[in-house]
Chain A
């Protein structure tokens, strides 16, 4: 890398190699952003324009769509938005807390059954959560918790992949020597967790939080099965009721599309604000090795 600035010939050789990856990445970006652009454009179209004008031409009905959506059934859309924020926010915080505690314990302590627990977790990662939704519903129905906020929150808390991630991260980010030093200085295990482990795991926690937040925000099947009362629906299930309205009703396409656009805005905002917490190598220089 250091030679490119001065050596002209070497630079020429490297350029075509650098173009290919950039082109591939640009293609990938285009692939990802085109649907977003479509949603953005479609949300601005009136019912008449939606299927009759060019897919990527802006329409004239964005404000009308927004006010229609807000007016739909006395603003139930915003209730769904608030529900989703609750499910995703509380669920992701609880899930992150559980994952960090479990991951830290698995990474830094030796205890009976440790490997068994870890292997079961690995197994848990392989089971898609979709498969568990119906059994979870039957279980929670027995416990009398179906159709409550808990029905969506509880199954979101334990997420094997997040625990796995937390374990890997804790193993790499928290040097054993640091914990040792703390113990020698007389810190309790609780204090070690609070003062040493959690700050060092910060970037990992942010990653887990974001993963879980997005996963719960986009989750469809679990709330679809669990919830009967439409005032507890999250956005995904709520918008679905607008889309699948029975044979004798027209689907409310423009409301669904506008709702979909609004529902991704908080996610984008969250990513942009949380990005700065992704600092790595917090423990750089804390121990000599």
Chain B
């Protein structure tokens, strides 16, 4: 897809410019503030300006101006470039996997002193995503993306398969469906979505990055993730899972016309399905992801983001105050759900979700299921070069899919690219 290529070029350019080094450093923040302050806020969540207007009406001293940005990797690259130039906004939406690179570039502030009271509002797993396993706190969790299995209830009945409880059952069902109709697949493997694969690795218990003393350990090519790669590699080699690139018109059409029966996706999928597969309304349902061992109940995270305060912000306390309100205040959480259509990370926000999405009107307990799945999701610590690992994933697995070669070898390539980049950037690694 053209946009994908454009994005790659963009990201490469922006990141390259940063690597080339620019000497200007952000001004030191002045934490104490008196009088009205003006905050700028970069976000891609829709209708955030309306939510900020509610805050502005209630807080005459702190005025927040929302600037809606594009999301994705370029958003992160643009923020880093702006931070280097001393032009960063006060508040920025940061995907969890991007936060470590912001911290490594000293672009976001440690706001532990300002926000530590909010810790009780979040589950430990999610809080870990903004502390990065350190003593600091680098943002407030906004939304999260626990993964689950979306499936077509009508077509599961038609092809006579039960909702798979384990990945073995999933593989069997994939073979059965494809044997009945060569144009139909149970599900797909995406070589374009490293975040999806990372979520499945989290479910399997993978730890892609960890800190041991003063050094980093990269564990991408290890047992749990290997298991995931080999599983999908086997199905892809048999040709019983769909390996076409997702997010294309063809993929949308396949979801829409029932050529793909299920999608292992995250809690935000209803938005995608209702937009890209409008004909399936009322026909989809959710179930927990298949498990690696019967009786287990784990999930992983795909996506989700936090609100961070820029290191260069002159109004750190005010910015932290707004971020706390936005992500923990009941009224704000209600607005986030209704206006911005996010699945809030705060426990209080998840309790506010009662009516199932319109698209899932057939499954009234949608949110009860989602909350149960969410509590079973486990994440891992993201490292400082997630972007490198993710683009290595796309390169290696794209190639493996096209050449029908080993997914294990592709995983090794991702591990090696990640390690090499960290060494080049001067991180010490445990061998």
* A225–B342 CB distance below 8 A: no
- Given the contacts A138-B22, A224-B10, A243-B3, A249 and B87 also touching, CB distance less than 8 Å: no
Q: Please report the C-alpha to C-alpha distance between residue A184 and residue B10 in the assembled complex, in whole angstroms.
A: 56
Let me know if B29 is at the binding interface, CB within 8 A. Answer: no
Let me know if B249 is at the binding interface, CB within 8 A. Answer: yes
A 236-256 to B, binary, CB cutoff 8 A, 1 in contact else 0: 010011011111111111000
* B81–A248 CB distance below 8 A: no
Contacts of B278 in A (CB 8 A): 47-48, 52
Let me know if B168 is at the binding interface, CB within 8 A. Answer: no
* A241–B68 CB distance below 8 A: yes
Let me know if B279 is at the binding interface, CB within 8 A. Answer: yes
Q: Which of B44, B93, B145, B343 contacts A244 (CB 8 A)?
A: B44
Query: Which candidate, B104-112, B117-125, B269-277, is the interface stretch facing chain A?
Result: B269-277
B 26-53 to A, binary, CB cutoff 8 A, 1 in contact else 0: 0000000000000010101110010000
* B24–A248 CB distance below 8 A: no
Shortest Cβ gap from A178 to chain B (Å)? 47
Let me know if A209 is at the binding interface, CB within 8 A. Answer: no
* B89–A228 CB distance below 8 A: yes
Shortest Cβ gap from A28 to chain B (Å)? 20
Let me know if B430 is at the binding interface, CB within 8 A. Answer: no
Let me know if B371 is at the binding interface, CB within 8 A. Answer: no
A 131-155 to B, binary, CB cutoff 8 A, 1 in contact else 0: 1011101100110001100000000
Q: Please report the C-alpha to C-alpha distance between residue A245 and residue B268 in the assembled complex, in whole angstroms.
A: 12
Among A51, A147, A241, A250, residue most surrounded by chain B Cβ atoms (within 10 Å)? A51
Query: Which candidate, B207-215, B229-237, B252-260, B410-418, is the interface stretch facing chain A?
Result: B252-260
Q: Which of A142, A221, A229, A246 contacts B72 (CB 8 A)?
A: A246
Q: Please report the C-alpha to C-alpha distance between residue A78 and residue B143 in the assembled complex, in whole angstroms.
A: 31
B 66-96 to A, binary, CB cutoff 8 A, 1 in contact else 0: 0111111011001001101111010001010
* A52–B45 CB distance below 8 A: no
Let me know if B341 is at the binding interface, CB within 8 A. Answer: yes
Contacts of A180 in B (CB 8 A): none
Let me know if A189 is at the binding interface, CB within 8 A. Answer: no
Nearest neighbor of A252 in chain B, beta-carbon distance: B275
* B85–A249 CB distance below 8 A: no
Contacts of A47 in B (CB 8 A): 275, 278
* A248–B78 CB distance below 8 A: no
Q: Please report the C-alpha to C-alpha distance between residue A73 and residue B75 in the assembled complex, in whole angstroms.
A: 20
Shortest Cβ gap from B85 to chain A (Å)? 4
* A146–B44 CB distance below 8 A: no
* A138–B256 CB distance below 8 A: no
Let me know if A130 is at the binding interface, CB within 8 A. Answer: yes
Shortest Cβ gap from A208 to chain B (Å)? 27
Let me know if B243 is at the binding interface, CB within 8 A. Answer: no
Shortest Cβ gap from A74 to chain B (Å)? 9
* B3–A248 CB distance below 8 A: no
Q: Which of B13, B46, B75, B342 contacts A134 (CB 8 A)?
A: B13
Q: Which of B6, B46, B85, B249 contacts A51 (CB 8 A)?
A: B249
Shortest Cβ gap from B179 to chain A (Å)? 27
Let me know if B14 is at the binding interface, CB within 8 A. Answer: yes
Let me know if B266 is at the binding interface, CB within 8 A. Answer: yes
Shortest Cβ gap from B252 to chain A (Å)? 4
* B45–A246 CB distance below 8 A: yes
Residues of A in contact (CB 8 Å), total 38
Contacts of A130 in B (CB 8 A): 13
Contacts of B253 in A (CB 8 A): 51-52
B 285-323 to A, binary, CB cutoff 8 A, 1 in contact else 0: 000000000000000001111000000000000000000
Q: Please report the C-alpha to C-alpha distance between residue A228 and residue B69 in the assembled complex, in whole angstroms.
A: 8
* B271–A250 CB distance below 8 A: yes
Let me know if B356 is at the binding interface, CB within 8 A. Answer: no
Let me know if A230 is at the binding interface, CB within 8 A. Answer: yes
Q: Which of A134, A141, A237 contacts B17 (CB 8 A)?
A: A134
* B275–A141 CB distance below 8 A: no
Contacts of A146 in B (CB 8 A): 82, 85, 87
Q: Which of A138, A229, A248, A253 contacts B67 (CB 8 A)?
A: A229
* B268–A243 CB distance below 8 A: no
Nearest neighbor of A52 in chain B, beta-carbon distance: B256
Shortest Cβ gap from B346 to chain A (Å)? 15
Q: Which of B405-430 contact A (CB under 8 A)?
A: none
Q: Please report the C-alpha to C-alpha distance between residue A69 and residue B398 in the assembled complex, in whole angstroms.
A: 35
Nearest neighbor of A251 in chain B, beta-carbon distance: B275
Q: Please report the C-alpha to C-alpha distance between residue A50 and residue B275 in the assembled complex, in whole angstroms.
A: 10
Q: Please report the C-alpha to C-alpha distance between residue A142 and residue B278 in the assembled complex, in whole angstroms.
A: 48
Contacts of A245 in B (CB 8 A): 44, 46, 70-71
Q: Please report the C-alpha to C-alpha distance between residue A147 and residue B40 in the assembled complex, in whole angstroms.
A: 12
Q: Which of B6, B87, B274 contacts A141 (CB 8 A)?
A: B87
- Given the contacts A52-B257, A240-B70, A250-B274, A225 and B303 also touching, CB distance less than 8 Å: no
- Given the contacts A241-B68, A249-B268, A253-B275, A221 and B44 also touching, CB distance less than 8 Å: no
Let me know if B195 is at the binding interface, CB within 8 A. Answer: yes
* B276–A248 CB distance below 8 A: no
Shortest Cβ gap from B105 to chain A (Å)? 15
Shortest Cβ gap from B279 to chain A (Å)? 6
Contacts of B143 in A (CB 8 A): 248
* A247–B22 CB distance below 8 A: no
Closest 6 CB pairs of A and B: A248-B268, A246-B71, A250-B275, A247-B303, A141-B85, A134-B17
A-B contact pairs, 18 of them (CB 8 A): A47-B278, A48-B279, A50-B249, A137-B85, A138-B84, A146-B82, A220-B6, A228-B42, A228-B67, A228-B69, A244-B75, A245-B44, A247-B95, A247-B303, A248-B266, A248-B268, A249-B71, A250-B274
Q: A51-B252, A250-B272 are in contact. List 15 more A-B contacts (CB 8 A).
A: A52-B257, A133-B13, A138-B17, A138-B84, A141-B85, A142-B24, A221-B10, A224-B10, A224-B78, A225-B78, A228-B89, A246-B95, A247-B195, A248-B303, A248-B341
A residues at B contact (CB < 8 Å) = 47-48, 50-52, 73, 130-131, 133-135, 137-138, 141-142, 146-147, 220-221, 224-225, 228-230, 237, 240-241, 243-253
